[in-house]
Structure 1
Amino acid sequence: MKHVLITVCLLSIASFAFSQTIKKVKVTEVEEYIKNSDHPIVLNCWATWCAPCIEEIPYFMEAIKKYGEQKVELLLVSCDFASSYPNKIIDLIKKKHFEATFFWLNETNADYFCPKIDPKWDGTLPSTLYVDPKTGYRKFFGRPMTDRQIDLEVGRLVGLKK
């Protein structure tokens, strides 16, 4: 009985620790995170119910690894409904083995939060912002991207491709 209790406690702690990796944020916190970054960021807005989103995330992970020496960070910002936070999001992240910094955008007014990510964003998912606060580089895509497009844009972000 003692071993069962210890196992349950350890599993609970592990589950709790993992759920803490998806930070609940307001859009102003995302803005501050970018502003205070000392490295390039690929910010991808996605949702668990968005098939094109799920399809392109591995391409981002691959490009980030390719340009690892440039310290590029993949920031996946979930735009899922509140009912999906955190369990449904965690389940998908685990199932797909996604690796990134994870935020859940705790906002409901797209007219407010979309332009704060980028003035051209109309709320379409997936959408991606390539940004480097140190160099001033900033490029936004309000559509799904192919593996080649992602690789090219990450290369541009870090200044290795034109």
Structure 2
Amino acid sequence: MLNVEVKYKAMKHLIITASLILSALVGFTQTIKKVKVTEVEEYVKNSDHPIVLNCWATWCAPCNEEIPYFMESVKKYSEQKVELVLVSLDFAKSYPTKIAGQINKKHFEATFFWLNETNADYFCPKIDPKWDGTLPSTVYINPATGYRKFFGRPMTDRQIDLEVGRLVGLKK
């Protein structure tokens, strides 16, 4: 009888632990919105504040290296309400679990989208006409001033800070 009670308590503990882990993962992955490129276009178009839109992937080392610099600059200019939007170009098998795992592991903070598109000839020019699909790529957009600048390469912390300053009109 004691053995059955021990097994019951162990099973109950396992079920509770698994439920908590699953609900945490499901709760988090809901913050990575699956989108088409037209939804990204609409999001940017309807924004009333400056946006740093960075296209990245979990497997892209330079992408993962520069994201903390974007986060730092966006925080520095928080009074100007700059928003960091990270658009993942990971493969479908990585959505949402692998992407969420990377975001959690690296402590990334942003608005997260996963681009549910496979035709780069279609979606790249919609993000920016100069974009050839290279990762990382970043577009700085300020709807209030009309400022828009594209970078199809990795950026250093100084370059990012300079561009975010230009985005909000505080640097030349």
TM tier, smaller = over 0.9
| Residue of structure 2 in register with 1:116 after alignment | 126
| Residue of structure 2 in register with 1:84 after alignment | 94
| Residue of structure 1 in register with 2:28 after alignment | 18
Q: Give matches, 1:125-136, under 5 Å.
A: 125-136=135-146
| Stretches of structure 1 lacking an aligned partner (at least 5 in a row) | none
| Residue of structure 1 in register with 2:115 after alignment | 105
2:79 corresponds to which of 56, 59, 69: 69
TM-score (norm 1): 0.96
SS at match of 2:169: coil
Task: String of CA shifts for 1:77-103, please: whole Å, max 9, x gaps.
Answer: 000111111111111111110000000
* Residue 55 (structure 1) aligned with residue 65 (structure 2): yes
State the distance in 1 between where 2:133 and 2:122 align: 11
2:50 corresponds to which of 24, 40, 49: 40
Q: Partner amino acid for 1:19? A: T
Q: Which has the larger radius of gyration?
A: 2
Structure 1 residue 61 displacement after superposition: 0.4
Number of aligned residue pairs:
162
State the distance in 2 between where 1:11 and 1:64 align: 31
State the distance in 2 between where 1:11 and 1:80 align: 23
| Stretches of structure 2 lacking an aligned partner (at least 5 in a row) | 1-8
| Residue of structure 1 in register with 2:6 after alignment | none
TM-score (norm 2): 0.90
Q: Partner amino acid for 1:62? A: E
Percent identity, aligned pairs only, is 82
SS at match of 1:23: strand
Q: Partner amino acid for 1:59? A: Y
State the distance in 2 between where 1:40 and 1:138 align: 10
CA RMSD of aligned residues (A): 1.1
Larger displacement relative to structure 2 (6-15 or 44-53) = 6-15
